[in-house]
């Protein structure tokens, strides 16, 4: 079983969660700060309204309203591959921006960020399984070349010769592989928690191998809720228990075989010798709460990729696309436009001092 990783935060997370369930489930996060000149515009694009006082900070985003609009407006497609199918949705207008999944959850975790971007970008989401009746799990783990070919097959289906990418954890690594394989088709890529190589211990490799044959979903794993809460709970809006429930239910819905196959795919990836030759402009997005292993992996990317920028986002945790979608979108918009980035926050000294040393083992696991 591959579960989220982070430093210990369980006590604080529990404090943040206490009382949240007593509030109205329609109350949502205050997603951007009032100093942003386009804050109200972003909120309106996502289904919110400008605040009555001040006029700049939006009414907090309602994720239920966003998901309803997404379901009504997104274009759906099934792209058939060799013995399996890819379930795809596209939402918005403009340049194509493809979101690549991490180890846990489905592409719906990206929808709140896409809601803020969809007026400028056609956001494309890809899942390798579907909960729809009649859909079947992929019969095997794909190889890295097959996964990259899958991405470009979806792009071909939507008529996209050149695309931009946002990849989280495993999605960041596959984004690197795509940039290495067909750099002419990648305009720009933002990688959050990405890596060129992740070491898996013998015990982890054994679990990955066994997990590919285990029935059931993540919800059936004992203690998974407490691990999720420890690793992610602190970073969610403390007055909105419903959004945390969205993350938990989304991740719980993923079959264990899919999680194990994603981890097996990650185990195949080793792009360390190729980093100097990956040429598309790349943004390394680092977040508070990412953990030591992720920080070391991203330090390697920052030091080796030839056309790289980096940005530190504090107080968002490992799923900023869900906890703070407006903050993330205000970073992604200028990057994908080729404009200067906003001023980055300062990482804590413990993160700034990490270097890309070889990783001997990982007691931290590999989820987003």
Q: What is the mean pLDDT of each run of 10 residues along the chain (368 residues)?
A: 35 33 31 37 41 43 89 96 94 98 95 97 96 76 95 98 98 98 98 96 92 81 65 65 86 92 96 98 93 93 97 90 93 97 72 40 33
Q: What is the CATH classification number for the domain harbouring 304?
A: 3.40.50.1820
Under 8 Å between Cβ of 2 and 366 = yes
Q: Is 58 inside any structural domain?
A: no
pLDDT at position 242? 82
Please count the structural domains in the chain. 1
| Residue 101 maps to a domain | yes
Q: Report the pLDDT value the prediction gives residue 305, as an integer from 0 to 100.
A: 98
Kindly report each contact of residues 36-39 with a partner whose C-beta sits within 8 Å and lies 24 or more positions away, as own/partner: 36/326, 36/330, 38/330, 39/326
Q: What is the pLDDT of residue 358?
A: 36
Which residues have C-beta within 8 Å of that of residue 32, sequence separation ≥ 6?
Answer: 39, 42, 43, 57, 58, 326, 327, 330
Sequence-distant (≥ 6) Cβ neighbours of residue 41 within 8 angstroms: none
pTM here is: 0.80
Q: Does residue 127 belong to any structural domain of this protein? A: yes
Q: Kindly state whether residue 47 falls inside one of the protein's structural domains.
A: no
Distance CA(73)–CA(71), nearest Å, equals 6
The boundaries of the domain holding residue 216 are 63-337
Whether 217 maps to a domain, the answer reads yes
Tell me if 27 is assigned to some domain. no
For residue 131, what pLDDT is reported?
A: 76
Instruction: Judge whether 95 lies within some domain.
Output: yes
Residue 221 burial (10 A CB sphere; 0-12, 13-18, 19+): middle
Q: Please state, in angstroms and rounded to a whole number, the distance separating the CA atoms of residues 164 and 186.
A: 6
Phi, psi of 252 (to 5 degrees): -65, -25
Look at residue 35 and tell me if it is in a domain: no
Question: Rounded distance, CA 169 to CA 194, Å?
Answer: 5
């Amino acid at each position: 079983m591959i579960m989220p990783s982070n430093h210990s935060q369980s006590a604080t997370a529990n404090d943040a969660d206490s009382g949240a369930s007593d509030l109205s489930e329609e109350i949502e996060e205050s997603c951007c700060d009032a100093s942003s000149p386009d804050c109200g515009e972003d909120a309106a694009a996502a289904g919110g309204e400008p605040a009555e006082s001040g006029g700049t900070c939006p009414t907090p985003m309602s994720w239920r309203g966003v998901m309803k609009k997404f379901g009504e407006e997104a274009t759906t497609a099934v792209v058939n591959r060799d013995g399996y199918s890819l379930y795809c949705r596209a939402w918005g207008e403009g340049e194509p921006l493809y979101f690549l999944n991490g180890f846990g959850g489905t592409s719906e975790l990206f929808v709140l960020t896409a809601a803020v971007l969809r007026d400028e970008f056609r956001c494309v989401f890809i899942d390798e399984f579907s909960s729809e009746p009649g859909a079947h799990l992929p019969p095997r783990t794909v190889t890295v070349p097959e996964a990259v070919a899958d991405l470009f097959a979806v792009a071909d289906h939507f008529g996209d010769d050149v695309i931009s990418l946002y990849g989280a954890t495993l999605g960041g690594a596959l984004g690197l592989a795509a940039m290495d394989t067909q750099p002419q088709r990648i305009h720009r890529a933002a990688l959050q928690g990405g890596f060129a190589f992740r070491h898996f211990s013998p015990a982890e490799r054994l679990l990955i191998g066994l997990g590919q044959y285990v029935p059931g979903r993540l919800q059936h794993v004992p203690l998974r809720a407490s691990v999720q809460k420890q690793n992610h709970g602190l970073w969610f809006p403390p007055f909105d228990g419903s959004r945390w429930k969205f993350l938990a239910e989304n991740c719980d819905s993923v079959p264990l075989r899919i999680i194990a196959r994603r981890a097996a795919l990650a185990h195949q990836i080793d792009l360390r010798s190729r980093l100097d030759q990956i040429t598309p402009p790349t943004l390394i997005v680092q977040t508070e709460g990412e953990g030591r292993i992720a920080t070391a992996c991203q330090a390697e990317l920052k030091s080796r990729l030839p056309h790289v920028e980096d940005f530190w986002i504090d107080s968002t945790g490992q799923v900023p696309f869900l906890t703070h979608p407006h903050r993330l979108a205000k970073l992604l918009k200028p990057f994908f436009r080729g404009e200067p980035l906003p001023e980055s926050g300062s990482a804590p000294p413990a993160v700034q001092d990490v270097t890309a040393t070889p990783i001997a083992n990982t007691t931290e696991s590999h989820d987003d």
